[in-house]
Amino acid sequence: MSKLQELKAINEEKKVLTAKQKALREELNETKEERKAAREVRAQSRQDVRQFKSELRELNATIYGAFSEGNSESIGELADSIMETATALATAVRNFAEASET
């Protein structure tokens, strides 16, 4: 009987190990999807940063012209545009940083 009992014990171990293996595979697949999503976020953030930096360069180029005109309304609008673009740039950088943590 001991051989039969030993065989049953081995089969039980196999079942436990198979279940453990399946759980580990599922966990790895979940993290794989998370890593893939993080890569996509980082790529989009890089594109956004390039775009917003370009917009800031363009806005900065118009500062002296706006100051030369002396029109307070156009200077205020320019300041608002610069702040909106800078905020969007900061948000894109934060998104990249958060995606890099995973």
Q: Which two tokens stand for residue 34?
A: 């998370």
CA dihedral 96, 98, 100, 102 (to 10 degrees): -150
Model confidence, pTM: 0.64
> Do the Cβ atoms of 63 and 78 come closer than 8 Å?
yes
Q: Which two tokens stand for residue 88?
A: 């969007």
| pLDDT at residue 20 in the model | 95
Which amino acid, residue 28? Answer: L
76-85 pLDDT, tens digit per residue, is 899 999 999 9
CA 75/CA 35 separation, integer angstroms: 44
6-60 pLDDT, tens digit per residue, is 999 999 999 999 999 999 998 888 888 888 889 999 999 999 999 999 999 999 8
CA 11/CA 14 separation, integer angstroms: 5
CA 30/CA 80 separation, integer angstroms: 42
Alpha carbon of 41 to those of 37, 38, 86: distances in Å?
A: 6, 5, 19
